[in-house]
Structures are given as structure tokens and as C-alpha cells.
Amino acid sequence: MPPIYFLLLGFSFILGTCIGSFLNVCIYRIPVGESIISPPSRCPGCGAGIRWYQNIPIVSWIVLRGKCATCKTGISIRYPLVEALTGGLFLLVFHTFGISWPTLVFWVFMAMLVVITFIDLDHQIIPDVISLPGIVIGFACSFLLPWITWTDSLYGILLGGGSLFLVAAGYELLTRKEGMGGGDVKFLAMLGAFLGWKAILPVIFISSLLGTMVGVPLMLIKGADRKLAIPFGPFLAVGAVIWLFWGGMLLSWYLGFFR
């Protein structure tokens, strides 16, 4: 491969880490209703402003040894992990789609998935301020994707939101308990907008399988409550990533059993 390819891979990763730094702000502020624009980044401990050279993705956390430069309050390792995760996803998108419109589309998609995943892990909510615009953006981006038509995207929205709504409504009807929030329904509709209707059932299957693999061991851990609430959003996000990058391979592998 030409050297320019590796330069572009490096650029993708660096861009992703910079976006990831901003996503950390979104993850922290959106659930509490704060602006993601102002005020500038500050230490959650002492409130001191973070200078630009103290806010270099991943590097600054390592140089400062995971502490605020002013008050020495510990800064969670999750901040550089979110930056590295976003950088890795951006790199993977570019490696898969190269210089193309799909790369820009799925960079936006990956950023949304990261924010939704960590907000759901922290607060067990999926903010409408992300999922609802995400449905519109995903539908608009279908005009830029050569393998997804606008009708595929529209059917994905309807099937994604509708299928999970029926599951949630059925569970509540049978058990008289809420088993899945409306945020998950809107999130799956967003996934359908970006990935098309054909991705919905595989994403549900993959995310349910992953959820079972994680949830059952957690319930078996000593002291774990069988009513332990595990957010489903992160599993949907992982299922969407798996389908986007490796769905074709997994489908071919599965169909191979019937040949």
C-alpha cells in the first residue's frame, strides 16, 4: 500500500481522538442539561479551566498522570479510553470505506454510538436529543450511500422502531412491568435509518446474544440481584458496529451451514 494510505489512517485516528475528546464533554453534560459549547472544559473537581496543551487527546492524560494540573484531582481513565475508542472506530471506518461519502457518514454514526453507549451506561437513558436527530440524519445520509436507498432507510426506521416497540409492549402486557424504555426503541429506529431494514433483525439478534452473555454471568455473581437493570443501548451499539463491518462475512458463514 502507498505511504499516503498509512498517513490517512493516522489522520483518521487522530481526528477520531479529537472528536472523542469532544464526545467526553457531550457524555458528561447532555444528561444534566448543560451546554456542550460553553463554558470551556474545566476540572470537575476544582473548576479550573483546562488549557489547550492540557487537553491533547490521550497524550495529556498520560503526561499529567491522570490528574488535574491545578488541584491534582484524579481524572478517570475513561476519558482517554473514549478518545482511543473513537479514534479506533474512525480508523476502522476509513480502512473499510476509504475516501468516500460513506466514510463521512459513518464517522458521524460512530460518534453518535459512542455518546449513546456511555450515557446509557452511566444513566440508563438514551437522550432524544441524539436519537431523534440521528433518525433524520441517517435518513438524509441514505442518499449518499450506494448500497442503501432512501426506501431501505425508511423501512429500517419503521421496522427498527416498530419491532422493538412491539417487544416492549408485549413484555409489559404480559408482566405488567416495563422491560425496555422508549429510548431503545428510538435508538433502533436510528440504527435502521443508517443501516437499512435488512440490518434490523441481525442487530437485534447480535445485541441480544451479547446481552445474554454479559447479563447471565452478572446475575450469577454472588449478591447480584435478578432484577439487575442492564442498559440495552450499548449492546445495540456493539451489534450495529459488528454488522456494519463484518455483517456480510457473518451472513456468509451462517448460510454456509445450509449448503
Across residues 156-172, what is the average pLDDT?
76
Q: Which three cell numbers stand for residue 18?
A: 479529537
Confidence class of residue 215 from pLDDT cuts 50, 70 and 90?
confident
- Say what the pLDDT of residue 74 is: 86
Average pLDDT estimate for 174-200: 83
Q: Is the pTM of this model over 0.85?
A: yes
102-145: pLDDT as tens digits? 999 999 999 999 999 999 999 999 999 999 999 999 999 999 99
Integer angstrom CA distances of residue 78 from 20, 25, 118, 122, 131: 11, 12, 10, 12, 23
Match 453507549 to its residue by C-alpha cell.
Answer: 117
How does pLDDT run across 51-70, given as a tens digit for each residue?
Answer: 777 789 999 999 988 888 77
Q: What is the pLDDT of residue 224?
A: 54
**pLDDT in the model for residue 257:** 66
Is the distance from CB of 46 to CB of 68 less than 8 angstroms? yes
